Amino acid sequence: MAQLILMPGKERSAFKQHHPWLFAGSVGRLEGRARPGDTVEVLADNLRPLGRAAYSPQSQIRARFWTFDPNEAIDDAFFKRRIAAAVERRQVLPALRGQQGLRLIHAESDGLPGVIADQYGDTVVVQLTSAGADKWRNAIVAGLLKATGCARIYERSDSEVRGLEGLTPVTGWLHGEAPTTPLSIEENGVTLAVDIAGGHKTGFYLDQRDNRQLLGQLAAGKEILNCFCYTGGFSLQALAGGAAHVLSIDSSGPAIAQAKANLALNPALPAERAEWLEADVFQALRDFRQAGRKFDLIVLDPPKFAPSAAHADRAARAYKDINVLGCRLLKPGGLLMTYSCSGGIGLELFQKIVAGAAHDAGREARIVQRLAGAADHPVALSFPEGEYLKGLLVQVD
Ligand code: SAH
């Protein structure tokens, strides 16, 4: 095994915090040969062993730790253990038991950097985003089959971040064959089709499950505006919760089409209370303001405006913009459910942005609840970057 030897003083985050990433600037030298994804032994400058990591020569994240135990072998059995532990971890929480749509592996936070696995019924979709994860594809598939007993595994490794690792997109069936009927899950009483091949991420935004349920609980009798609705997850929960009217907006035609199809999958829901709009949210909110339209509750769940801290400034302006407009469109006492899934925007900054937005809109507002990703998206304490999704439920006077 090749050895990766760190620069003096650069062992701290690995040794003291067990942070799983080693940046290029921390690495002193590589002794021996290692190809992308190979396991290397990581040593401090004084040659103290720190653990074993996947080497990624093309990425700024030069290595990702698999283990901080210098003697733990990285082999098929390692992946079997880690995957079994991740799957078992989900059973601890009552809210996750029996969910048909469930994130089984949340990458670094489950001790498996670069590995994402989402379960939709008896199908598991994996996304491998790092050179190390890519290398261990077969072991990961074997571990998932063993831990879940699922019928089929599909790979959706077409995320842009693979490019940073020098990896090309890979998609297709890794185990079993495409099901003959469209895939769907039930989430808190609502049926939703999931397009694992063509949808966003692995097909669905499982991280918002609890927040969609909360919307359902808040919806009764309300005029609701759901911005960035994707396939209608929030919208359908609002209808199930007795909303008076739900207007949903997304700029993606296929997403809106899928949202309408999802509504049709739930004949008990009052379809006449749903309105769908394929439009740019930034423009639509301005148009509503012009038209003097008002709502009781507005959901703002935009895409990642800031993939990294480098984009934080521009992203902050975009978040501010939609949140100002959101506040302006609320009736007195209305609720704003507002989110950021940008890794580059921390919770504190997000709260400041929303505070600034309420102020600019000339409204007093208070946080009535803090919102986060569902429990199947755990955040390892050693990896605060894992807490990408943050939200605020704000009441606007
Ligand atoms: N709330 C959704 C997930 C939202 S993902 C859920 O619970 O499933 C973000 C969505 O924003 C995507 O569907 C994307 O198509 C849409 N989008 C991105 N930019 C947009 C824009 N400027 N205007 C409207 N929709 C946009």
pLDDT in tens, 359-376: 999 999 999 999 999 999
How far is residue 311 CA from its own chain's centroid? 18
**Residue pair 118/103 in contact by the 8 Å Cβ criterion:** yes
**pLDDT on residue 185:** 98
Residue 231 Cα to ligand 1 midpoint, Å, equals: 9
Contact 302, 281 (CB under 8 A): yes
Q: What is the mean pLDDT of residues 17-42?
A: 97
Q: Tell me the CA–centroid distance for residue 250 and ligand 1, in Å.
A: 5
% pLDDT > 90, the chain: 97
Q: Whose CA is nearest to atom 18 of ligand 1?
A: 303
pLDDT at 23: 97
* Mutational pocket test of ligand 1: of 103, 213, 215, 230, the residue with most ligand atoms within 8 Å of the beta carbon: 230
Tell me which amino acid residue 366 is: R
The model's pLDDT over 69-127, given as tens digits with 9 standing for 90+, comes to 999 999 999 999 999 999 999 999 999 999 999 999 999 999 999 999 999 999 999 99
CA of 389 to the centre of ligand 1 (A): 14
Please write the tens of the pLDDT for every residue from 160-192.
999 999 999 999 999 999 999 999 999 999 999
∠ Cα 391 304 362 (to 5°): 50
Predicted confidence band of residue 380 (pLDDT cuts 50, 70, 90): very high
* Residue 311: pLDDT band with limits 50, 70, 90: confident
Residues with CB under 6 A from ligand 1: 205, 208, 212, 228-231, 233-234, 249-252, 255, 280-282, 301-303
- Cα-to-centroid distance, 288 and ligand 1 (Å): 18
Task: Please report the pLDDT score of residue 307 as a whole number.
Answer: 76
- Asked if 361 contacts 397 with a C-beta cutoff of 8 angstroms, the reply is no
Q: Which atom of ligand 1 is nearest to the CA of 204?
A: 8
- On whether the 185-396 domain is CATH 3.40.50.150, my answer is yes
SS3 label, residue 288: helix
Q: What is the pLDDT of residues 206-217, one digit of tens each?
A: 999 999 999 999
Q: Cα(252) to centroid of ligand 1, in Å?
A: 8
| Helix, strand and coil percent figures for the chain, each rounded to 5 | 35, 30, 35
User: Domain boundaries in the chain?
Assistant: 3-67, 76-175, 185-396
Residue type, 43: L
CA dist 35 and 101 (Å) reads 36
The rounded distance, in Å, linking the Cα atoms of 331 and 363 is 11
Say which range, 79-88, 127-136, 309-318, has the weakest mean pLDDT: 309-318
Active-site positions?
Answer: 341
Of all protein residues, the one whose alpha carbon is nearest to atom 9 of ligand 1 is 303
Q: Ligand 1 centre from 75 Cα, in Å?
A: 39
Task: Tell me the average pLDDT of the chain.
Answer: 97
Task: Give CATH superfamily name and number for 76-175.
Answer: RNA methyltransferase domain (HRMD) like (3.30.750.80)
Ligand 1 atom closest to 205 (CA):
8
Ligand 1 atom nearest the C-alpha of 234 is 7
Take atom 10 of ligand 1 and give the residue whose Cα is closest: 228
Return the closest-CA partner of residue 37 out of 161, 158, 133, 140.
Answer: 133
- What is the atom index within ligand 1 of the atom nearest the CA of 280? 23
Distance CA 132, CA 65 (A): 10
Is it the case that residue 61 has pLDDT exceeding 90? yes
Q: Which atom of ligand 1 is nearest to the CA of 231?
A: 8
- Which residue's C-alpha comes closest to atom 23 of ligand 1? 280
If you measure from the C-alpha of residue 179 to the centroid of ligand 1, how many angstroms do you get, rounded to a whole number? 27
Q: What is the mean pLDDT of residues 187-204?
A: 98
The CATH number corresponding to 3-67 among 2.40.170.20, 2.40.50.1070, 3.20.20.70, 2.30.130.10 equals 2.30.130.10
Asked if domains 76-175 and 185-396 share a fold, the reply is: no
Check whether 128 has a pLDDT greater than 90: yes
Specify the long-range contacts of residues 218-225, CB closer than 8 Å, at least 24 apart.
Answer: 218/297, 218/335, 219/243, 219/246, 219/297, 222/295, 222/296, 222/297, 223/294, 223/295, 223/296, 223/297, 224/295, 224/296, 224/297, 224/298, 224/299, 225/249, 225/288, 225/295, 225/297, 225/298, 225/299, 225/329
Q: Identify the pLDDT of residue 394.
A: 98
Nearest CA to ligand 1 atom 22: 280
Identify the residue whose C-alpha is closest to ligand 1 atom 15.
252
SS3 of 251-277: the string is: CCHHHHHHHHHHHHCCCCCCHHHEEEE
Residue of 251, 256, 317 to mutate, ligand 1, most atoms within 8 A of C-beta: 251
Distance 230 CA to ligand 1 centre (A): 5
Ligand 1 atom nearest to CA at 281: 23
Residue that wins the pLDDT comparison between 344 and 192: 192
pLDDT category of residue 50 using cuts at 50, 70 and 90: very high
Q: Could you give the CA distance from residue 303 to residue 315 in angstroms, rounded to a whole number?
A: 10
208, 247, 250, 263: residue to mutate for ligand 1 pocket, most atoms within 8 A of CB? 250
